[in-house]
């Protein structure tokens, strides 16, 4: 839906969502199409929509929140006020911005909280290759953990463009630029969906952007609801989903 996230969230019934995956603007001055990432009351704004996301989440639900390192100190308490800490996932995504007064940031944090201790977690929805497990653990230990995934995700490349582009990159007509500057890879949301939901469950993305979470849901047979404040990005995501459905139909998958 093409709507402000708070307005949209307030229309959703309490405890009807199985999982939230949110990749909000980070208030770093980036220019998106239709708005600028520059909110004067950013922390208060985040608290309002985070509270709403937990409200609509079922007691067995999980909330994944994409963020950046410098926001962890205050976003984690916001999440903890409503839910139960599960993991701080680190996605390997080297920042283009570096500061000579600290180490160059090579990962992006993803906060993972359950609404309660009864959250769903499909432990072996995906596994690590056996050779990686054997490199760290004894044979007996490796057999017990069955290649359980780490909280460090270095196997999901970011979506890049330019003269060589990522296979998922949606390119703006007449350029070699991404149509959405922050398009994320499908498996980032897809992995969260596989581990924290079952087929037929409902996933919410309050900042749907180019429609990545929606595309992952469609491929993984989950229901999706979401909103995007930018009309241009909203229309982009609709076109993307229509093309995805047509491609899967042509391939005989759906």
What pLDDT is recorded for position 129? 77
What pLDDT is recorded for position 145? 63
E strand map for the chain:
17-22, 31-32, 35-36, 57-66, 84-92, 107-114, 152-153, 202-205, 223-226
As a whole number of angstroms, the distance between CA 237 and CA 208 comes to 8
As a whole number of angstroms, the distance between CA 128 and CA 60 comes to 26
As a whole number of angstroms, the distance between CA 174 and CA 198 comes to 40
Contact between residue 8 and residue 1 where contact means Cβ atoms under 8 Å apart: yes
Residues 6+ apart with CB under 8 A from 192: 19, 21, 62, 64, 110, 112
What pLDDT is recorded for position 130? 62
Selection from 150, 195, 188, 235 nearest residue 22 by Cα: 188
Domain 5-155+188-250 is found in CATH 3.30.310.160: no
pLDDT, block means (10 residues), the chain with 254 residues: 94 98 89 75 96 98 96 97 98 81 93 98 90 56 73 91 78 79 91 98 96 95 96 92 82 69
Selection from 6, 9, 7, 25 nearest residue 17 by Cα: 9
What pLDDT is recorded for position 69? 94
Strand pairing category for 202-205 and 223-226: parallel
- SS3 call for 23: coil
- CA torsion, points 161, 167, 172, 177, in degrees to nearest 10? 0
What pLDDT is recorded for position 142? 54
* Cα distance between the two ends of the chain: 24
**Six-digit token pair at 251?**
């391939």
- CA torsion, points 226, 54, 93, 163, in degrees to nearest 10? 10
What pLDDT is recorded for position 177? 80
Selection from 91, 85, 48, 81 nearest residue 63 by Cα: 85
- Provide the residue ranges of all domains of the chain, joining segments of one domain with +: 5-155+188-250
- SS3 call for 243: helix
């Amino acid at each position: 839906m093409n709507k402000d996230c708070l307005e949209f969230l307030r229309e959703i019934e309490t405890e009807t969502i199985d999982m939230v995956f949110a990749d909000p603007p980070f208030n770093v001055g980036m220019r998106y199409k239709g708005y600028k990432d520059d909110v004067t009351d950013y922390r208060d704004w985040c608290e309002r929509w985070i509270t709403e996301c937990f409200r609509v989440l079922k007691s067995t639900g999980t909330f994944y929140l994409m963020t950046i390192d410098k926001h962890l100190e205050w976003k984690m308490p916001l999440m903890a006020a409503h839910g139960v800490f599960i993991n701080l996932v680190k996605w390997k995504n080297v920042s283009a911005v570096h500061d000579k007064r600290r180490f160059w940031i090579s990962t992006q944090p993803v906060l993972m909280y359950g609404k309660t201790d009864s959250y769903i977690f499909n432990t072996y929805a995906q596994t690590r290759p056996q050779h990686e497990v054997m490199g760290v653990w004894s044979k007996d230990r490796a057999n017990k953990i069955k290649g359980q995934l780490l909280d460090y995700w270095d196997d999901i490349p970011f979506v890049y463009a330019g003269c060589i582009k990522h296979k998922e990159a949606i390119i703006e007509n007449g350029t070699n630029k991404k149509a959405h500057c922050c398009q994320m890879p499908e498996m980032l949301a897809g992995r969260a969906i596989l581990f924290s939901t079952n087929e037929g469950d409902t996933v919410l993305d309050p900042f749907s952007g180019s429609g990545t979470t929606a595309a992952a849901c469609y491929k993984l047979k989950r229901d999706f609801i979401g909103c995007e404040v930018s009309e241009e990005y909203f229309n982009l995501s609709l076109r993307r989903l229509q093309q995805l459905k047509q491609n899967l139909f042509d391939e005989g998958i759906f």
